[in-house]
Structure 1
Amino acid sequence: MVPLSFLTIIFYHCWLWHKVKTQPLSTIFGTNASGRRFWVSDMIKDNEKKNIVAVQTLRNTIMGSTLMATTSILLSAGLAAVISSTYSVKKPLNDSIFGAHGELMVSLKYVTILCIFLFSFFCHSSSIRFLNQVGILITSPPHPSSSVTPHYVWELLEKGFLLNTVGNRLFYSALPLMLWIFGPLLAFLCSLTMVPVLYNLDFVFGFNKQLALGKDFQHNGCRDCESV
């Protein structure tokens, strides 16, 4: 059940990555990335009036990443303390769960969860680094000899949001691993429950309808132009 739990989450995110690459506007990530591109261009174009708005918006995102990074490192410290403790963590679980109860398996569970939280902390801390760079560059006055372009600032912003998303997904994937401590069945059921929840959060419903309306509008507009 545990390998099936891992494979379910991995397969879903591989399929999501394929959709982001092939049909970006059908996903939340592609739609938001498109909006952020226009947002960066507009902030730089009207820098004198909107620099405060840009800084405040980035500050809210940095605060979210900081909270997740702090939570991840605190959980990592707690798990490290449990692993290094002389108290045997498997004794109270032997009579209440089914599955492997050996010391190697119990250690594997805790070490896996610890690694997930550490990688989540790394992604969130790296995201904060990129977002801080964007906060400086997006408010810098444009200069003809400067190599900082709106496209470059947008790429830094996308890296920050990508690392933030990866850190969040690693944090979410730790939930089945936490339940794995109490048995493989709970981990498997949690993974099956997470997939439809994430699907409803990651995809833009009605994308095909919007695409059809856009094609009809474009076709009618071209036909009107031809008639004129």
Structure 2
Amino acid sequence: MEWRKSYLDLILVPLSVLSPILYHIWLWQRIRSQPERTIIGINSASRRLWVFAMMKDNDKKNILAVQTIRNAIMGSTLMATTSILLCSGLAAMISSTYSIKKPLNDSVYGAHGEFVMALKYVMLLLIFLFAFLCYSLSIRFISQVNFLINVPQGDDNSLVTPEYVSHLLEKSFALNIAGNRLFYAGLPIILWIFGPVLVLICSVSIVPILYNMDIAYGQGKGEKVDRKISMGA
């Protein structure tokens, strides 16, 4: 009897999780092999060029650099705040004595016992907690960039180089992207509350949306950008 209630979850939920995981493995390999064909790779190269430009002409562009970084910090702060608020709400719901599964007993397919419902909310809590961690670390790295990008360049300064500052900036944005993807992963888990069928539909629908967000069409200048960076532009 229990198998009849949970067989959809055992089949559809792993398929739903596997789909975005395979996509991100492919995307990671694409970024490493052909960064000029991805939005992430082009933006990464552009940020490195931006750091070189800001630090090369720091006297004239220091205010612009600080304001740009401040806007990025505000975006990560907003997402970190949203994540921790969702975690607080989920933690309060899990610890509540009210049985949250009662209104769903006759309205969803798949398993909806006490253990399964607790598993769904715990997974949501963990996803948003890891998203909060990524956003917090992103703020930490980009705050360091905010200080270091205005360090005067000279022969006596061999530690704070544009390469080092751009490396910190890339770490910050990589963590921000990871936080965003974890945030997106929370949507199928939320729909899992209403049944595993919606999880599969949502996961399959997210992959082409992410593909159109990540892949740059008709871009052939990424190689030139990488050459400029390697030459110390």
Q: Normalising by structure 2, report the TM-score.
A: 0.88
Paired with 1:165 and 1:144, the residues of 2 have a C-alpha distance of 35
Paired with 1:143 and 1:69, the residues of 2 have a C-alpha distance of 37
**One-letter identity of the residue aligned with 2:52:** S
Cα offsets for 1:111-155 (capped at 9, x unmatched): 000000000000001000000100100012224333110000000
**One-letter identity of the residue aligned with 2:214:** D
Aligned to 1:166: 178
Task: Quote the offset at 1:15 in angstroms.
Answer: 0.5
Paired with 2:120 and 2:103, the residues of 1 have a C-alpha distance of 15
Paired with 1:9 and 1:85, the residues of 2 have a C-alpha distance of 32
Paired with 1:19 and 1:118, the residues of 2 have a C-alpha distance of 28
Task: Quote the offset at 1:206 in angstroms.
Answer: 1.5
Computing the radius of gyration from Cα coordinates, the structure with the larger value is: 1
Unaligned runs of 5+ in 1: 215-228
Aligned to 1:198: 210
Aligned to 1:185: 197
Paired with 1:140 and 1:95, the residues of 2 have a C-alpha distance of 63
| Structure with bigger RCO (C-alpha 8 Å, 6+ apart) | 2
Aligned to 1:82: 93
**Secondary structure, in 3 states, of the residue corresponding to 1:204?**
coil
Paired with 2:75 and 2:181, the residues of 1 have a C-alpha distance of 14
Paired with 1:106 and 1:156, the residues of 2 have a C-alpha distance of 40
Q: Does 1:114 align with 2:139?
A: no
Paired with 1:199 and 1:163, the residues of 2 have a C-alpha distance of 19
Paired with 2:156 and 2:202, the residues of 1 have a C-alpha distance of 54
Q: Does 1:148 align with 2:185?
A: no
Instruction: State the Cα RMSD in Å.
Output: 1.1
Q: Does 1:6 align with 2:17?
A: yes
Paired with 1:74 and 1:182, the residues of 2 have a C-alpha distance of 22
Which residues in structure 2 correspond to 1:42-121 (within 5 Å)? Answer: 42-121=53-132
Paired with 1:120 and 1:144, the residues of 2 have a C-alpha distance of 41
**One-letter identity of the residue aligned with 2:165:** V
**One-letter identity of the residue aligned with 2:215:** F
Which moved further from structure 2: 135-144 or 28-37? 135-144
Q: Normalising by structure 1, report the TM-score.
A: 0.90
Paired with 1:91 and 1:145, the residues of 2 have a C-alpha distance of 69
- Does the CA contact (< 8 Å) of 2:151 and 2:160 recur in 1? no
Paired with 2:121 and 2:156, the residues of 1 have a C-alpha distance of 53
Cα offsets for 1:31-54 (capped at 9, x unmatched): 011111111011001000000110
Paired with 1:33 and 1:129, the residues of 2 have a C-alpha distance of 19
**One-letter identity of the residue aligned with 1:184:** P
Task: Quote the offset at 1:172 in angstroms.
Answer: 0.5
